């Protein structure tokens, strides 16, 4: 049984997530003039996240400038200004920021420890089978109940796709930890499943985080 109080205390001791913003591809990097450590920056906002996050940098290749936007609200810790105006390679660290965890993120973190995690057997790209994918896209994952041995994933690697069966207790898909066309390493969780006997505990996690977690203004 998960000790929710202990986990909450542990998260409260360091309520931050450190986000490293890297160059998504090679190109010449330009930082805005006014961007310094300590500055507060904002991620996308609006009901549908329709408003972009703050501009952190611009990456230019073949005369095409690509804005690099702030992914989440946070505080700038490091700006690698020494790279300004230089050609950087894909994956180069550009900015580091500290993000204060929101209630939803804390719930997600705790549930990752509580739920039954079904993990990737191999490094590959994973997709839900079309019938499950549609349900999740329309109504969210919580409407999909899965059983042991049920084929719910397509594993794609080396240009080949193979079906993958779920193994574990029957339950509702409570969390999805992978995204479209992204590689998932072996052993990393794909989904978190909530069996019926765990529903009460999950509800308690949500309730306690809602009441006990103080959102930073």
Sole binder of another protein in the list 1, 6, 13, 158 (CB under 8 A): 158
Work out how close the CB of 171 gets to another protein at its nearest, in angstroms, rounded to a whole number. Answer: 24
Rounded least distance, CB 153 to another protein, Å = 15
Q: How far apart are the first and last CA of the chain?
A: 33
Can you tell me the distance from the alpha carbon of 118 to that of 183, in angstroms, rounded to the nearest whole number?
16
Burial 68-81 (b: 16+ CB within 10 A, else e): bbbebbbebeebbe
Classify residue 123 by its DSSP letter.
S
Out of 89, 142, 145, 210, name the contact with another protein by CB under 8 A.
89
Q: Which of 34, 159, 200, 214 binds another protein (CB under 8 A)?
A: 159
- 61 near another protein, judged by CB under 8 A: yes
Among 10, 24, 85, 210, binds another protein (CB under 8 A): 24
Among 32, 36, 49, 87, indicate the residue that binds another protein (CB under 8 A).
87
Residue 27 binds to another protein (criterion: CB under 8 A): yes
Residue 123 makes contact with another protein by CB under 8 A: yes
Write out the DSSP string of 42-101.
Answer: ---BSTTS-BPPPEEEEEEETTEEEEEE-SSSEEEEEE-GGGTTSEE-TT-EEEEEEEEP
Residues forming the site for another protein (CB under 8 A): 24-28, 61-62, 64, 87, 89-91, 121-124, 157-160, 162, 183, 186-187
């Amino acid at each position: 049984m998960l000790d929710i109080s202990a986990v909450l205390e542990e998260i409260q001791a360091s309520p931050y997530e450190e986000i490293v913003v890297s160059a998504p591809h090679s190109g010449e990097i330009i930082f805005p003039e006014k961007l310094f450590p300590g500055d507060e920056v904002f991620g996308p906002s609006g009901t549908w996240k329709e408003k972009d996050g703050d501009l952190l940098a611009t990456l230019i290749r073949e005369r095409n400038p690509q804005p690099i936007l702030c992914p989440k609200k946070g505080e700038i810790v490091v700006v690698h200004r020494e790279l300004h105006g230089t050609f950087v390679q894909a994956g180069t660290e550009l900015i580091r920021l500290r993000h204060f965890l929101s209630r939803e993120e804390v719930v997600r973190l705790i549930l990752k420890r509580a739920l039954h995690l079904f993990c990737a057997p191999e490094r590959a790209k994973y997709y839900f089978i079309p019938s499950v994918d549609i349900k999740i896209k329309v109504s969210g994952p919580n409407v999909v109940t899965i059983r042991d041995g049920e084929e719910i994933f397509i594993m794609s690697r080396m240009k080949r796709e193979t079906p993958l069966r779920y193994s574990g207790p029957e339950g509702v898909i409570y969390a999805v930890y992978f995204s479209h066309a992204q590689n998932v390493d072996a052993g990393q969780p794909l989904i978190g499943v909530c069996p019926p006997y765990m529903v009460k505990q999950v509800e308690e996690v949500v309730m306690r985080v809602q009441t006990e977690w103080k959102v930073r203004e």
